[in-house]
Chains A and B, each alone.
Chain A
Amino acid sequence: MKSNERKFEDIFRDAFENAELMPSAKVWERIEREVAKKPRVIIMPRLKQIGIAAVIALFALSTSYFFGYRYFNASNPVAIRNATTQPVVTTTPNTAITQPQGDDQKQAIQNTPQTALTNPNDLIVQPPVAASKNLMAGSANRRTEIIAGSARRNIAASPLVDTQNGKTDANNIATLPLAELQLLPVETHSLNKAPEKVAFVPLLSAEDLPMAKFEASRRGWIGLMIAHNQFSPGFSRVSNAQPTPFIVGQYAEASVFHNDLTDSLFNKNSASLQIDGGYFISRKLAIRSGLAFMRNSYSVNTSAELILPPFLQGSAAKPNSIEINTQMLSVPLQLAYVSQGKFGYLFSAGIAGDFNLSHIINSTRVEGIQYDLGNYKPLNISGLAGIGVSYNFTPHVGIHIDVNYRRSLTSVYQTPHLQAHPQWISLGGGLLYKF
């Protein structure tokens, strides 16, 4: 029987050993078309993905900008931080201001609660040269916290206290609405009779105040961060059918493959490089976004025996190993709670659009096997949350370290039998510029 079998098989092997037949010429034409199509299939989605990513990032940042603009022009309390300009503060044009004529009159004016701008000493009252480094203590600090909105409403009642000869008293700090300082037209006043007697009201910049120094940069931030990711592909089995239509002959059941993907999985180096940005929408809350390039990598040792002919059985003793590399662009959109100071902290949470750039599966020991875990979706949405701390060297420059957890909200593979919700914890840090 055995020799019969041998003979039987030999008949076929011999017959087919050098067998050749000519297929239709159309086969090559179709191959040519398919091969020519390939680059477009690969490149176009990438350009599209990068474009979409850029649009989302721009949208997020511009939206944040408008929130931020409203914040800086509304009735939120802000610290004076005008450091360089010298706007001339004027009264309303065409408003006649009675000039005191004699000493008695001047004295009377000084003793009277002032409800309008006065110029008791024939001085041009100018807001200040901000270069002043006079540190104000106690109540002075508190008084420099100007509420722009209420200051605007109470402008008529805000006394411009006389500061003669540039002397500054903590109790006599003029409190000026920042909005008025910035928005009123610069005009010379008709009282400009004695320019030689110009006196300056020292304006405190927030940076002059020790406590407020590191809260000065409050519009937002931008930075560059690098992170190491502890990556898990998060495979789960949906049914016990073959995981995908592809892994030809490698696995008898999906469960075997699933076990390999969970038990024989080895993480490789995974990292991300991120441009991180944020805009404040209120005193503590900011919209956080950016653009991150991520590379996640892992390998799986397959338990299935290899498909090798008898003469290659020696190498079949080793398990095959497949390595999976994924590269993506990610655009996060998060709400962040930020505490600033020399040492600051941050909590953030939101979603991210992950745009697949490439998804490559390499068989490291056996060639000719086409591994395929199903189609990797071009766009996946992840949920993410993180916590971070920062240390500010200056009001504008600091370092930031944070830990983030993220997980894909949908399966990244389009296959009916296998699901994957990649998740990873990233630990990273970088340099931030605050503005």
Chain B
Amino acid sequence: MMQPKEWTEEKLIEMCAKGNGTAQRLLYERFYKKMYVVALRYSKTTFEAEDILQESFVKIFAAIANFKKDSSLDYWIKRIVINTALKQNRRMLDKMHMDDVDDMVEEPASEVFTDKSYDFKELLAIIQQLSPGYQAVFNLYAIEGYKHNEIAEMLGISEGTSKSQYARAKALIQKMLAKDEEKVYEKQREKI
């Protein structure tokens, strides 16, 4: 007889749908680290992220019987985590001032991007410093790959607002990255 750890994804889904605790634990263990990072990207603190992770997996176990195989399980779970995170942040998003693209004062974008690769923890720390609106739009556009009209629908804002939020978020991140680069450069000069 096949051991639970040898279960295929299909078998795992089937057993989770039946409410099997072992299967639920295995499914959680398969995805929780990755999904925790997704939750962290949409939150400010680890507490918020853990709440999102918890609520997401409760929903996943409740709805997994309806999972159809026309998308990957990874993608389906990620969608639920993102939706849960946006739902939790909705109050903040509603209160937030959203600039439209017409209100924007053009800020010169820094040209500091090189082939340097960043550790995700550095980038995560920068994303978490953004306001909730910038954070949501930036994550959805730059990392998840949604278009501005899709983001507008998701967040209940206009497409122009999504564009302006993204532009501002990008400018802020560029500044922060530039500062980091300067610090590294100065440290290197001091060593020399």
Contact = CB atoms under 8 A, between A and B. Distances in A.
A252 B157 contact: yes
Contact of B28 (A15, A28, A249, A312): A28
A14 B123 CA distance: 11
Interface stretch (A19-27, A45-53, A54-62, A277-285): A19-27
Interface stretch (B6-14, B50-58, B97-105, B184-192): B50-58
Contacts of B3: none
A308 interface: yes
A15 B170 contact: no
Contacts of B156: 242, 249, 251-253
Contacts of A246: 87
B178 interface: no
7 contacts: A8-B142, A8-B170, A16-B37, A22-B36, A35-B58, A249-B150, A367-B68
B142 A9 contact: yes
A10 to B, nearest CB: 9
B107 interface: no
A315 to B, nearest CB: 8
B2 interface: no
Interface string B141-157: 11111110111111111
A4 B111 contact: yes
Interface size class of A (residues with CB under 8 A): 35 or more
B49 interface: yes
A68 to B, nearest CB: 48
B183 interface: no
A305 interface: yes
A248 interface: yes
B153 A249 contact: yes
A240 to B, nearest CB: 11
A168 interface: no
B109 interface: yes
Contact of B36 (A5, A21, A245, A252): A21
Ranked nearest first, the 6 interchain pairs of A and B with the lowest CB-CB distance are A249-B154, A368-B79, A20-B33, A19-B120, A15-B120, A248-B83
A13 interface: yes
A250 B156 CA distance: 8
